[in-house]
Amino acid sequence: MAQDNFSRVTEFILLGLSDTRELQLLFFALFLLAYAMVLLGNLLIVVTVRTDPKLSSPMYFLLCHLSFIDICYTSVTAPRVLVALLWGRKAIAFEGCMAQLFFLHFVGSSEMFLLTVMAFDRYTAICRPLHYTAIMARGACWALVAACWLGGFAHSIIQTVLTLRLPFCSPKAIHSYFCDVLPVVRLACADTALTEWLMASNSGLISLGCFLVLVASYALILAKVRAHLSQGHWKALSTCASHVMVVTLLFVPCIFTYLRPAGASPSNEYVCVIYTTFSPMMNPLIYTLRSSEVKEAMWRLWKRCRA
């Protein structure tokens, strides 16, 4: 009887995005291009912020950490997807699947918390400018970033433990291109209604809660800017516009994917592409194209490299 508490599955089969070879090669090219853009774009932001003393404000400190998280987040799924698309290796070991599930939620939820902190940073800069330096001191910024990582770890360990406690048996085909909690849990040979509800409450409510906090902060910022129109406020509002686009690309697909009732049809794999690959790819473009300071710092970096 005790043996029934352990998994009888040693590997899962990731069905991926398509079984057609031509489409697999097309998806490989698109994923490779997107992954290269994620690595190069976000790494460029990290190097630029770290090497330019003019980008020492809390906003750019947090942006540097966001870029680092985006690199980690996409690297959890993209290399495995590229191998599967090119060589057709769809099998993934049970331990590898659990590790991918853990790190996906660890880094993903940490990014959500960090985006919320970035919204707080913009709210403080616009609504409480006289206290901004004291509130967002470097020590406070480090503490907030550490809290984001700790919150992500706590969220992910709960998801992973709930999954590992389930007994798995045939079928073992996952209707996705990576291991995520809901597709994996639905393979368990047990009643998973309660587990799915707990996971939806965990992942879905975190996504929805952070999103509502972000919306509320932007509403307060808009009210402040409307009451005090000045060049400085409009510049800060332009930065917030970039943040809104990032938030929309990440949170809306996550809410759609995770805040679903038990028994609902599996989420679309193409929706998952938006928040696992497309959003981290767009972050460098959104922030650099709308920030003259970052573009000027990148130009100074380019001139130093050529010298």
Asked if the structure places residue 83 within a domain, the reply is yes
Say if 304 falls within a structural domain.
no
CB-count burial class (<10 Å; 0-12, 13-18, 19+) for 74: buried
- pLDDT value at residue 96: 92
Inside any domain, residue 2: no
* Extended beta strands in the chain, E state: 11-14, 91-93, 173-174
Which DSSP category does 290 fall into?
A: T
pLDDT of residue 229: 56
Cα separation, 299 vs 307, in Å, equals: 12
pLDDT attached to residue 2: 43
Task: Tell me, yes or no, whether 243 lies in a domain.
Answer: yes
Domain with residue 264: its CATH number is 1.20.1070.10
- Please give the helix or strand (H or E) that residue 28 lies within, else none: helix 21-51
Predicted confidence at residue 166, as pLDDT, reads 86
Q: Is residue 1 part of a domain?
A: no
Structural domain of residue 199, as residue ranges? 11-299
Interval 56-89: pLDDT, tens:
889 899 999 999 999 999 999 999 999 888 887 7
Look at residue 64 and tell me if it is in a domain: yes
Query: What pLDDT does 77 receive?
Result: 92
Distance CA 133, CA 257 (A): 38
pLDDT at 21: 84
Look at residue 31 in the predicted model and tell me its pLDDT: 93
Number of folded domains that form the chain:
1
Can you give the pLDDT at residue 5? Answer: 46
pLDDT at 7: 46
**What is the enclosing helix (H) or strand (E) of 84?**
helix 58-87
Under-50 pLDDT residues of the chain: 1-7
- Please give the pLDDT value at position 266: 54
Report DSSP state, residue 54.
Answer: G
Instruction: Kindly state whether residue 79 falls inside one of the protein's structural domains.
Output: yes
Does a structural domain hold residue 234? yes
